[in-house]
Amino acid sequence: MKAFFAAVLLGTATFVVPASAEDTVKLVDVVELSGAGATAGTNWRNGIDLAVAEINAKGGIFGKKIEIVHYDTQTNPGNTRAAVQRAIDEGTYVVLGPVFSGPIGASMQIAQKAGVPQFVGGEAASLTKQGNPYLFRSSLNQADAMPKLANWFRDELKTKSVAVVWVNNDFGKGGRDSMIPELQKRGIAVAADIATESGQADFAADAIKVKNSGADAVFVYLNEEESARFLRAAKQQGIDKPLVGETTLLGAKVIELAGDAANGVKGHVGLSVDAPIAGFKSFSDAFQAKYAYKSDHNGIKGYTSVWAIKTATEKNGSFDREALMKTMHGIRISPKDVPGILIETKWNDVGDVDRESFLAEVKDGKQVITKILPMIAP
């Protein structure tokens, strides 16, 4: 009980006094560690912790060690705003996170007003359209990824009609809203447009609906676990049409959970621990060693964000937030110079990320990269 009151007292102190230390640089990560986003958020956090540990082991950012703090948002915009506010009050150099678009929307103005750069994991197209110079993505914008996939449906799969299965949250809805016009532009019909719930467990009805829709192919845009559940249901219902998706359908986690139901799944992958690139492999091994499971793309997003911050800061030679913001616009980081960036990455003037990406297929329980797609604006 005493310890509890001590904790509460200590907590109250945080309302007033900023915590600060001289020889470290403070980074606050505000992310979904509970609620609907907990899975993505935990990966993101672990990726960050891994990067921070590596950077600190090598002496930090020009001599200053990184002090990392994680605040949970409960996947709730109100709590996110509180946590970002707190991060700023505490004098964070950069805000890392969150990953879900709703919480990002609730917090990005706060960081902008305070002039603090924010590295987020969100993929919704709208985020970088609001003219907030302090906002930076860590993965491809959905709006950039979907045309690549739509082309593939038309050119490689020769699809006439597609059933779209999506998760009814900002991620899934964003993907669906970007994808359907791209399909229609290419003369591909949408045979079924099926919304599923976040956290849904039973996909039998959805699989049956897909099966009876008469589509030539299925576009699956769900979070990892739901993807795995859908793949199992699809297998059970005997769906033999190509199942096509994004990073969240082909990830190692999905393959692990879905077992052989994942075989034959194809799609476009932004960040993948299975990509035939040395950086990803070593990241994946380090992550596996530290946390005893395979990272998903959110782990890579968190990890590379910290490395990008370090790189840009060292380029500036100071912990100036505005300078960091300016340097990040148009920066191009190569794994040749900074191994931690894993893959050549560019940030454009609105904070969108540009990278090479991959077309992949699952064969015998392994993700196999079939083609490397170039950057959008190399």
Which positions from 165 through 224 interact with another protein, judged by CB under 8 A?
A: 168-170, 173-174, 193-197, 199-202, 204-206, 208-209, 211-212, 224
According to CB under 8 A, which one of 24, 56, 65, 126 is a site residue for another protein? 126
Nearer to another protein among residue 157 and residue 286 (C-beta): 286
Judged by CB under 8 A, which stretch of 22-30, 70-78, 148-156, 270-278 contacts another protein? 70-78
> Of 43 and 357, which CB lies nearer to another protein in the complex structure?
43
Instruction: Using the structure block, give the residue that is written with the tokens 């299965």.
Output: 165
Q: How far is the CB of 101 from another protein (least distance, A)?
A: 7
C-alpha distances out from residue 190 to 176, 193, 212, Å? 11, 7, 13
64, 148, 229, 310: which one binds another protein (CB under 8 A): 229
Tell me how far, at minimum, the Cβ of 277 lies from another protein, in Å: 24
> Shortest Cβ distance from residue 29 to another protein (Å)?
12
Would you count residue 131 as binding another protein (CB under 8 A)?
A: no
Q: What are the residue ranges of helices labelled H in 187-296?
A: 204-211, 224-236, 247-250, 252-258, 278-291
Q: Is residue 103 within 8 Å of 127, Cβ to Cβ? A: no
State how far the Cα of 57 lies from the Cα of 65, in Å rounded to an integer: 9
Q: Which of 53, 190, 257, 338 binds another protein (CB under 8 A)?
A: 257
Say how far apart CA 174 and CA 187 lie, in whole Å: 21
CB of 28 to another protein, least distance (A): 11
Supply the minimum distance, in Å, between the C-beta of residue 256 and another protein.
7
Distance CA 343, CA 375 (A): 11
* Residue 36 interacting with another protein (CB under 8 A): yes
Which residue, 298, 318, 293, 261, is CA-closest to 61? 318
Tokens read off for 324: 């960091």
* Structure tokens that stand for 319 in this block: 């912990």
Cα dihedral 222, 225, 227, 233, rounded to 10, equals -130
Of these, 20, 184, 236, 318, which contacts another protein (CB under 8 A)? 236
Nearer to another protein by Cβ, of 130 and 184: the residue is 130
Please say which residue, 296 or 354, places its beta carbon nearer to another protein.
Answer: 296
Report the distance separating Cα 236 and Cα 80, nearest Å: 40
Residues in 80-109 that interact with another protein by CB under 8 A: 81-82, 85-86, 88-89, 101-102, 105-107, 109
Q: Nearest CA to 221 among 179, 264, 167?
A: 167
The residue type of 63 is G
d(CA 275, CA 335): 14
Which lies closer to another protein via its Cβ, residue 88 or residue 215? 88
| Contact assessment for residue 227 and residue 245, using Cβ atoms and an 8 Å cutoff | yes
Among 2, 10, 317, 377, binds another protein (CB under 8 A): 10
Does 157 contact another protein by CB under 8 A?
no
- Show the tokens assigned to 43: 């990966």
Q: Which of 7, 189, 278, 372 binds another protein (CB under 8 A)?
A: 7
Nearer to another protein, 27 or 33 (CB): 33
Residue 155 structure tokens: 């050119």
